[in-house]
């Protein structure tokens, strides 16, 4: 197990943990789709950049593979078997975006295993903060369907494990990927013990995540969707996070905070049209870290999207530095029109 430590954690805390595994580099959709944007270079660039900065003071651990029974906490057995079988015969395309290769099943087991091991470590208080840098990502995967580059829903499995096996009563999941986390939203649509909040660009893949979709049945109000227009910059994202999402999360009183940390809202990313800077992700991370610190909640993040390799690497570094420090976030004034619209919907369920 790789446990080198560089730098110093925030005062009074154990070192934050960074989970990775070489199997993530073996998942390469280009074997069946030569121009696919989800390449191993994404992780190689992240780790080169982190190594140049002494891993930001984070301790590295290898992510184990997850057993199929734990995957089936949120996925149907048929879905798990289809991915395993397709990988065993060399892979192929599930849809034009979602590709399985010979090594993809094992990589996906390690990606989900990292998220679940991270959650076990956090709930045992061995660490207060952790980050999983593993592929393939997961937030588009539904219970019985792989889509959007995602095979298994890593963060959903981790959240469900926390509830079912680790004594967690409530989990707050924040998704700041530029694409709506439809898989996570659908898996937990009817639930009251998981609050799911997504800030994402509206009108792009996967076409879900409207403001008025707030969950269903007993889960009504426990889904927060905040679509933003193309061209949206840092102030709008931070305003929605600070003035809509975090007040709801505080009222929810979670025991665990998880982030679906996609970095494709960066202005240089080729797959969307938002205009966040590298430092924008650090500011979002500081806001979430502040929420966790207020109540001494464990905080974990799982890598999702981000397809311009150096922008991704720099943004991950900035996020790790922010999550591993005590520096407070920069307050943001409410963006009048967007906050008013969001508050009219979300304020029906949560005090804002």
Catalytic residues, which ones?
Answer: 140
Only one residue has tokens 């409530």, namely 170
Task: Determine contact, residues 111/152, Cβ cutoff 8 Å.
Answer: yes
- Alpha carbon distances (Å) from 69 to 75, 82, 113, 157, 312: 9, 15, 12, 11, 33
Only one residue has tokens 């979002």, namely 284
Task: Determine contact, residues 134/110, Cβ cutoff 8 Å.
Answer: yes
Q: Name every residue whose Cβ is closer than 8 Å to that of residue 106 and which is 6 or more positions away in sequence.
A: 23, 26, 65, 87
Only one residue has tokens 């009504």, namely 220
Query: Helical H runs in 2-153?
Result: 23-26, 41-52, 68-71, 77-88, 104-123
Both tokens of 262, joined, read 């996609």
Both tokens of 8, joined, read 């110093």
- Alpha carbon distances (Å) from 259 to 31, 34, 129, 203, 302: 30, 30, 11, 22, 6
Only one residue has tokens 């290898």, namely 62
Only one residue has tokens 């989990």, namely 171
Dihedral pair phi/psi, residue 207, rounded to 5°: 85, 10
**What is residue 325's three-state secondary structure?**
coil
Of 286, 297, 274, 272, which Cα lies nearest the Cα of 319? 286
Task: Determine contact, residues 266/311, Cβ cutoff 8 Å.
Answer: yes
For the chain, give the longest Cα–Cα distance.
54
Both tokens of 84, joined, read 């395993």
**What is residue 44's three-state secondary structure?**
helix
């Amino acid at each position: 197990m790789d446990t080198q430590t560089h730098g110093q954690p925030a005062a009074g805390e154990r070192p934050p943990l960074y989970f990775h595994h070489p199997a993530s580099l073996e998942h390469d959709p280009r074997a069946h789709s030569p121009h696919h944007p989800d390449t191993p270079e994404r992780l190689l660039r992240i780790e080169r950049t982190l190594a140049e900065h002494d891993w930001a003071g984070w301790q590295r651990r290898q992510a184990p593979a997850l057993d199929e029974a734990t995957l089936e906490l949120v996925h149907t057995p048929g879905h798990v078997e289809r991915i395993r079988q397709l990988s065993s015969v060399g892979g192929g395309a599930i849809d034009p975006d979602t590709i399985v290769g010979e090594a993809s099943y094992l990589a996906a087991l390690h990606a989900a295993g990292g998220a679940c091991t991270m959650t076990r470590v956090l709930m045992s208080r061995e660490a207060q903060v952790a980050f999983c840098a593993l592929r393939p990502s997961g937030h588009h995967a539904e219970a019985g369907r792989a889509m959007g580059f995602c095979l298994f829903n890593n963060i959903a499995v981790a959240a469900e494990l926390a509830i079912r096996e680790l004594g967690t009563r409530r989990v707050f999941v924040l998704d700041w990927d530029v694409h709506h986390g439809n898989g996570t939203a659908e898996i937990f649509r009817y639930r009251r013990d998981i609050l799911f909040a997504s800030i994402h660009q509206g009108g792009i893949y996967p076409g879900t995540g409207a403001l008025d979709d707030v969950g269903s049945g007993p889960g009504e109000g426990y889904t927060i969707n905040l679509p933003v227009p193309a061209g949206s910059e840092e102030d709008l994202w931070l305003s929605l996070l600070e003035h809509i999402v975090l007040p709801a999360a505080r009222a929810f009183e979670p025991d665990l905070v998880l982030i679906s940390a996609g970095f494709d809202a960066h202005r240089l990313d080729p797959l969307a049209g938002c205009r966040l800077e590298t430092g924008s992700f650090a500011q979002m991370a500081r806001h979430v870290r502040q929420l966790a610190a207020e109540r001494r909640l464990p905080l974990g993040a799982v890598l999702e999207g981000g397809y311009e390799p150096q922008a991704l690497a720099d943004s991950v570094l900035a996020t790790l530095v922010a999550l591993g420090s005590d520096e407070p976030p920069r307050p943001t004034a409410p963006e009048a029109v967007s906050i008013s619209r969001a508050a009219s919907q979300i304020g029906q369920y949560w005090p804002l």
